[in-house]
Amino acid sequence: MSAPEAGAPQLVLHHFPGACSQVCVFALEHAGLDYELRLVDLKTSEQSGVAYSAISPLGKVPALIIDGAVLTENAAIQTYIHELRPQAGLFPRDASPLDVGRRQAGLSLCGGTLHPIVRGLANPLRITDGDPEGVRRKSQALAVKSFGVAEERIAQTGWWLDDWSLLDVYLNWAVSVAASTGFDFKPFPTIAGLAARLSELPAFRRMLEIEVESAAELARRRTLPSALAVPKI
Ligand SMILES: N[C@@H](CCC(=O)N[C@@H](CS)C(=O)NCC(=O)O)C(=O)O
C-alpha cells in the first residue's frame, strides 16, 4: 500500500459487491484516492445489525466515512469525491449552474427513479408483502419507459454528458441489475453497450476486479460457494 497523501482525508467506503456502491468504488479508484474498503454482507443482513446501523441507520450501502464523519447516499458521495478531486474529471469541471443542475438531475434519475425500478425487477419482495408478480410487471413497464428515456439521452454521444462521467457508471449499474433479471436490452443498444465502452477506463476494470475479489472474500466469510447471487438492492 502506498503512503497516505499528506493532508488527505481518511476514507472508508462500505460496500457490497453488485450493489450501487460499486459506483463509489469506481470514483475512488479513478480519482486515485487512498481508501479502505469495508464489506457489508447484505446477504446475511449484516446491514441491519447494531454495528452497521450505527453508521447507516437505514442499513444501506454505500456509506463513506470521512475522517470519522459519515456520509450516506450515493449521489452525495459521488459529488463529494468529485469535489475532493475535481481534476480527476469524474464530472466536467468549470460547470455552469445549468450544467450542475443537469448533473444533479442525472444523479437523481439514477438514484431516485432507476434504482427503485431495478429493485422492483430484482427483488420485488422488498417492496410488497403481496403478489411479487404485480410489482415485477409494473417495474418492467417502468423500466421500459425509463431506460427508453436514458437511451434517447445518450444515443448521440454514447454518454450522458458530452464525454463519459460518473453518470454513465451509475446508469450502467442499473443496467447491470436489470440485465441480471433477464430484462431485454435489445431495444436499448446504446445503454447496453455502456459496460464495453466504460471498460476502456482502467478504473472501471479495477472496479470489476474488486467486485470479484469482494464476492470471494464474502463467500470465504460465509463459507458458501459464491456471494454473487441476488444482492439486496
Ligand atoms: N438512497 C440510497 C439507496 C442505497 C441502497 O438502496 N443500497 C442498497 C444496495 S444497492 C442496500 O444497501 N440495500 C440493503 C437493504 O436495503 O437492506 C442511495 O442512493 O445511496
pLDDT in tens, 63-87: 999 999 999 999 999 999 999 999 9
- Indicate whether 229 belongs to any domain: no
Question: For residue 126, which atom of ligand 1 is closest to its CA?
Answer: 16
Dump pLDDT digits (tens) for 15-33.
999 999 999 999 999 999 9
* Per-residue pLDDT band at 223 (split at 50, 70, 90): confident
Residue with cell 469482494: 214
Taking the centre of ligand 1 as the mean of its atom positions, its distance from the CA of residue 18, in whole angstroms, is 11
Report yes or no on 21 lying in a domain: yes
pLDDT at 163: 95
Distance from CA of residue 232 to its chain's centroid? 13
Q: Around Cβ 175, how many Cβ atoms within 10 Å?
A: 24
Q: Largest Cα–Cα distance in the chain?
A: 55
Show the ligand 1 pocket: residues with CB < 6 angstroms. Answer: 19-20, 42, 47, 59-62, 73-74, 111, 232-233
Helix, coil or strand: residue 13: strand
The torsion angle over the Cα atoms of residues 25, 173, 110 and 127, rounded to 10 degrees, is -110
Q: For the chain, how many structural domains are there in total? A: 2
Do 101 and 193 fall within a single domain? yes
Q: Is residue 21 within 8 Å of 62, Cβ to Cβ?
A: yes
Same-domain check for residues 108 and 192: yes
- Describe the strand order of the beta sheet including 69-72 as a list of residue ranges: 36-39, 11-15, 63-66, 69-72
Looking up cell 459519515 gives: 70
Q: Is residue 227 part of a domain?
A: no
Ligand 1 center–CA 60 separation, angstroms: 4
Distance 233 CA to ligand 1 centre (A): 6
CATH number of residue 54's parent domain: 3.40.30.10
Determine the average pLDDT of the residues in 201-229: 87
Residue 229, pLDDT score = 56
Q: Does the residue 231 lie in any domain?
A: no
* Whole-number Cα distances in Å, 213 to 13, 70, 122: 15, 25, 23
Domain boundaries, position 61: 11-89+202-222
Work out the pLDDT band at 224, boundaries 50, 70, 90: low
193, 104: one domain: yes
Nearest C-alpha to atom 15 of ligand 1 is from which residue? 60
CA of 72 to the centre of ligand 1 (A): 10
Those residues with Cβ within 8 angstroms of residue 93's Cβ, 6 or more apart along the chain or in another chain: 86, 87
CA–centroid distance, residue 94 to ligand 1 (Å): 31
Range 141-163 average pLDDT: 97
Q: Is 29 found in the same domain as 79? A: yes
Which stretch of DSSP H or E encloses residue 38?
A: strand 36-39
Instruction: Say whether pLDDT at 228 is over 90.
Output: no
Q: Is residue 6 part of a domain?
A: no
- Whole-angstrom Cα distance, residue 190 to residue 187? 9
Domain check: are 181 and 206 in the same one?
no
Q: Is residue 168 part of a domain?
A: yes
- pLDDT over threshold 60, residue 225: no
Q: What 3-state class would DSSP assign to 214?
A: helix
Q: What is the CATH number of the domain that holds 190?
A: 1.20.1050.10
Residue 137 sits in the same domain as residue 48: no
Q: How does the average pLDDT of the chain come out, rounded? A: 94
**Among 13, 15, 20, which residue has the most ligand 1 atoms within 8 Å of its CB, making it the best to mutate?**
20
Top-confidence residue, 165 or 2: 165
Average pLDDT over residues 24-47: 97
For residues 192 and 127, membership in a common domain is answered with: yes
pLDDT value for 150: 97
